[in-house]
């Protein structure tokens, strides 16, 4: 009895948390930068002004539609057995196209494995992205050709590569910046937090672009953080901003600002693009097991393409002929992707031994020779 009453007394005496320090919850949406409402209304934000020409708006619309088409085609190709796996970006087009189009030529992007829209903006051939998912390579493109690094499967690893690359830019005295993509799940990784530390300490020109799509496979953002993710930045000593990730204009304006801020010697910025993954994590996942249909439905109303289309129509910035031309281009892209994947040749098995090292390595050379001889023995009929 005595113990119980003491415990009660202690509990009662414990100081309460002041209201000002209470976590606001991860689903709160404070300071969500928005320039285009879900209804397609253009609004202004005092800190992130953006002027756009009708041509630019139409170009963004084209990007969004084509990226979605490419993604949809890839999902279908996976279902047809042409790809081993696909990580769909459905719903995240605006975050990727907005941030991707904010980059300058000399800027460098370090993606995770879902940044098909950013790759599109960097002019990486979409078919290049499919090699890994078809199983013919692990990436394969030359990252330096378009300043778009290889996809990274281990989540968060690339944020450190991006930071190191940005440190190199500083050393070179170059006027470029880096953008590192990662997700809400990766924000829990040590590497991401170490990247924040290094970037901050060395004032590296890197923008951390977190696409908070609410789910890390089946784990909700509430399993990653007790505070809104963009507020993590303040603890590392750099600005964080939350943007409407389904608003391509807001993503463009905020990322452009952040890249310029970083390249001007001010150090890193964290952008949290508040968005939603409409599909599965990958094609091997089943989101109906862990999230409610109502949630997905609610996010449908914020669709990034529909809202830009509504804006274009409302303002008379695009006519039927334009929309029809984009649809036609979309069909062509779909066809090119389908045919491109199906005609993608399997690599020669000796690829196994290619590029393990930049310089000759005795063991690799020996095993290659053994394999070649073994394979040749089948052709010669010795092993039949």
Partner 1 sequence: MAGQLTIAKALNDALRKSLENDPKTVLMGEDIGKLGGVFRITDGLQKDFGDSRVIDTPLAESGIMGTAIGLALRGYRPVVEIQFDGFVYPAFDQIVTQLAKMHARALGHVKLPITVRIPYGGGIGAVEHHSESHEAYFAHTAGLRVVTPSGAHDAHWMLRQAIASDDPVIFLEPKRRYWDKGEVGDAADLGLHDARIVRPGTDATLIAYGPMVKVCLEAAAAAEEDGRRLEVVDMRSLSPVDFATLEESVKRTGRAVVVHEAPVFLGMGAELAARLTERCFYHLEAPVLRVGGYYAPYPPSRVEEAFLPDLDRVLDAVDRALAY
User: Which residues form the interface with partner 1 (CB under 8 A)?
Assistant: 137-145, 149-150, 152, 154, 157, 159-169, 171-172, 190-191, 194-195, 197-198, 201, 354-359, 361-364
Nearby residues of 195 by Cβ (< 8 Å), 6 or more positions away:
156, 159, 160, 162, 163, 180, 206, 208
Closest to 306 in 3D by CA, of 8, 94, 161: 94
Smallest gap, in angstroms, from Cβ of residue 356 to partner 1?
A: 5
User: Which of residues 206 and 312 has its CB atom nearest to partner 1 in the complex?
Assistant: 206
CA–CA distance, 38 with 247 (Å, rounded to integer): 8
Smallest gap, in angstroms, from Cβ of residue 52 to partner 1?
A: 33
The β-bridge relationship of strands 32-33 and 240-244 is parallel
User: Which of residues 202 and 322 has its CB atom nearest to partner 1 in the complex?
Assistant: 202
User: Which of residues 194 and 219 has its CB atom nearest to partner 1 in the complex?
Assistant: 194
Q: What is the full DSSP assignment across 46-78? A: TTS-----HHHHHHHHHHHHHHHHHHHHHHHHH
Smallest gap, in angstroms, from Cβ of residue 100 to partner 1?
A: 19
CA–CA distance, 191 with 202 (Å, rounded to integer): 16
List helix spans (H) across 152-277.
157-172, 190-201, 232-236, 248-261
Smallest gap, in angstroms, from Cβ of residue 189 to partner 1?
A: 9
Smallest gap, in angstroms, from Cβ of residue 149 to partner 1?
A: 7
Smallest gap, in angstroms, from Cβ of residue 258 to partner 1?
A: 18
CA–CA distance, 71 with 69 (Å, rounded to integer): 5
Query: Phi and psi of 61, rounded to 5°?
Result: -60, -45
User: Which of residues 152 and 214 has its CB atom nearest to partner 1 in the complex?
Assistant: 152
User: Which of residues 10 and 171 has its CB atom nearest to partner 1 in the complex?
Assistant: 171
Smallest gap, in angstroms, from Cβ of residue 361 to partner 1?
A: 5
Q: Is-contact 198 170, C-beta < 8 A? A: no
User: Which of residues 155 and 250 has its CB atom nearest to partner 1 in the complex?
Assistant: 155
User: Which of residues 61 and 196 has its CB atom nearest to partner 1 in the complex?
Assistant: 196
Q: Is-contact 233 16, C-beta < 8 A? A: no
């Amino acid at each position: 009895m005595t113990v119980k009453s003491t415990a009660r007394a202690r509990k009662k005496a414990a100081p309460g948390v002041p209201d000002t320090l209470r976590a606001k919850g991860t689903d709160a949406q404070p300071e969500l930068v928005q320039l285009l409402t879900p209804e397609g209304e253009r609004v202004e934000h005092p800190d992130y002004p953006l002027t756009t020409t009708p041509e630019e708006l139409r170009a963004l619309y084209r990007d969004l539609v084509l990226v979605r088409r490419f993604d949809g085609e890839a999902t279908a190709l996976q279902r047809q057995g042409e790809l081993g796996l696909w990580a769909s970006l459905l719903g995240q087009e605006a975050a990727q196209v907005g941030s991707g189009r904010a980059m300058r030529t000399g800027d460098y992007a370090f993606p995770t494995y879902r940044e098909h829209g950013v790759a599109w903006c960097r002019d990486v051939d979409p078919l290049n992205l499919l090699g890994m998912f078809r199983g013919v390579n692990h990436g394969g493109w030359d990252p330096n050709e378009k300043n778009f690094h290889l996809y990274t499967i281990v989540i968060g690893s690339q944020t450190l590569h991006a930071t190191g690359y940005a440190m190199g830019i500083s050393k070179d005295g170059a006027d470029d910046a880096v953008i590192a993509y990662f997700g809400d799940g990766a924000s829990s990784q040590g590497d991401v937090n170490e990247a924040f530390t290094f970037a901050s300490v060395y004032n590296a020109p890197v923008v951390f672009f977190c696409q908070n799509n609410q789910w890390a496979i089946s784990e909700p953002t509430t399993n990653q953080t007790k505070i809104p993710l963009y507020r993590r930045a303040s603890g590392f000593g750099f600005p964080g901003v939350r943007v409407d990730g389904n608003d391509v204009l807001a993503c463009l304006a905020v990322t452009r600002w952040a890249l310029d801020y970083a390249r001007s010697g001010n150090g890193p910025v964290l952008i949290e693009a508040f968005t939603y993954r409409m599909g599965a994590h990958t094609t091997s996942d089943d989101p109906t097991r862990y999230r409610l249909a109502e949630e997905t439905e609610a996010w449908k109303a914020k669709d990034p393409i529909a809202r830009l289309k509504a804006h274009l129509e409302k303002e008379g910035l695009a006519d039927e002929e334009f929309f029809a031309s984009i649809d036609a281009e979309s069909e062509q892209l779909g066809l090119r992707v389908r045919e491109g994947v199906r005609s993608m040749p399997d690599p020669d098995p000796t690829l196994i031994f290619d590029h393990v090292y930049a310089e000759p390595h005795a063991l690799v050379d020996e095993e290659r020779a053994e394999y070649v001889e073994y394979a040749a023995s089948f052709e010669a009929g010795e092993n039949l």
